[in-house]
Amino acid sequence: MQKIGKQTVKFDTPPTILQTASIVGPKEADGPLASYFDQCLEDEFWGEKSWEKAESKIIKETVNMAIAKSGIPSEQIDYCFAGDLLNQCISSSFGLRELNIPFFGIFGACSTFVEALCMASIFLEGGAASYALCAASSHFCSAEKQFRFPLELGNQRPPTSQWTVTGSGAAIVAKNGMGPYITHITPGKIVDMGIKDANNMGAAMAPAALDTLISHFKDTGRSPSYYDAILTGDLGHVGKEILIEMAETKGYNIKSNYNDCGVLIFDKEKQDTHSGRKWLCLLWNCIFWISI
């Protein structure tokens, strides 16, 4: 493991993402990615009394599913890195309390999942662990309740507003394996360009994503065409366009292989979301290259 350039870490024996699992809510199940999820829920409560409890259940079941799929007994998993959007990370803390794995609660908003992967891979590479668990969850209803307005409030969503994904993703990361590998990580800086509109998060986040992408290209000496796919977490349609245009002015053409998970997960034409948000946060302020 060594630091290259300004803010990138390069792994000598890259950790492997061994197995993944995902559970999503009904709206995501209607989206174009439905067939890739392990389980789709019928409603947002999943038999629980509150959305927070439902979110806890979702992350718990996802983690159990990932462990079961990987075939590694949970005693052998050394650390668990998990987080969510709620205060004090309650969904993941309560959801994973029966897991009996040492727990790091992390908060990175949209970048939580990638943050977990970054920390886990540094632990694995440093020899502190041989298996680590990464998980993140979000729930549309609990997030709206915490950050915006009650669902029954009759207000209009402007065209730039985003829709938080209901769901959870989990991954088991191993020290050795056959890939896909995590070879480089580039944590990004906080970039604030003064966008104050809470309904236009894509535009607020795009400059940070751009800054991270460019740092990654500079540090590794690669160009965008080196990659099969460059993915951001949740810039949405507005943020995606802004990122592509701004990258072009800086001399990077990412048009052909760049996409955004928030754009992918919902169907703009069929589903009334004004674009998706969070969950498969493969990259927002972190980039990693997956080679197979």
Partner 1 sequence: MDFLTSIDWMQMLRCFIVGGLICIIGQILIDKTKLTPARILVIFVTTGAILGGLGIYQHLVDFAGCGATVPLTGFGNALAKGAIDEVAKSGFIGAFIGGTKAAAGGISAAIFFRIYCISYFKTKNEKTIKNGDFLSVFSFFFYFMHFLQFLQF
Partner 2 sequence: MKPIQTKKDYQNYVEQKSPNSPIIKNCFNAFWVGGLICSIGQIIFNYCKYRGMDIQISNTIVSIILIGLSAFLTGLNLFNRIGKFAGAGSLVPITGFANSVVSPAMEYKSEGYVMGVGGKMFTVAGPVLVFGISASIVVGILYLIFNTQSITLV
Question: Rule CB under 8 A: which residues touch partner 1?
Answer: 27, 43-44, 140-141, 149-153, 155-156, 158, 197, 199
- Where does the chain show beta strands of DSSP type E? 2-4, 8-10, 16-24, 39-40, 79-84, 103-105, 131-138, 163-164, 167-174, 184-185, 230-232, 258-260, 276-277
Nearest residue (CB) to partner 2, 67 versus 243: 243
Position of tokens 């969070």?
278
Number of residues that bind partner 2 (CB under 8 A): 31
DSSP 61-130: HHHHHHHHHHT--GGG--EEEEEESSGGGHHHHHHTTTS-S-EEE---GGGHHHHHHHHHHHHHHTTS-S
**How far apart, in whole angstroms, are the C-alpha atoms of residue 174 and residue 153?**
46
Q: Does 151 bind partner 2 (CB under 8 A)?
A: yes
Q: How far is the CB of 231 from partner 2 (least distance, A)?
A: 21
Select 94 or 140, whichever has its Cβ closest to partner 1.
140
* 200 is an interface residue for partner 2 by CB under 8 A: yes
Contacts with partner 2, 94-133, as mask; x by CB under 8 A? ----------------------------------------
- CB 208, min distance to partner 2, A: 12
Cα separation, 191 vs 178, in Å, equals: 36
Q: Which is nearer to partner 2, 134 or 244 (CB)?
A: 244
Cβ neighbourhood burial of 127 (10 Å; 0-12, 13-18, 19+)? exposed
Interface map 207-236 toward partner 2 (x if CB under 8 A): x-----------------------------
The answer to the question of residue 148 lying near partner 2 (CB under 8 A) is no
Q: Which residues bind partner 2 (CB under 8 A)?
A: 49-52, 145, 149-160, 193-195, 200, 203, 207, 238, 241-242, 245-246, 248-250
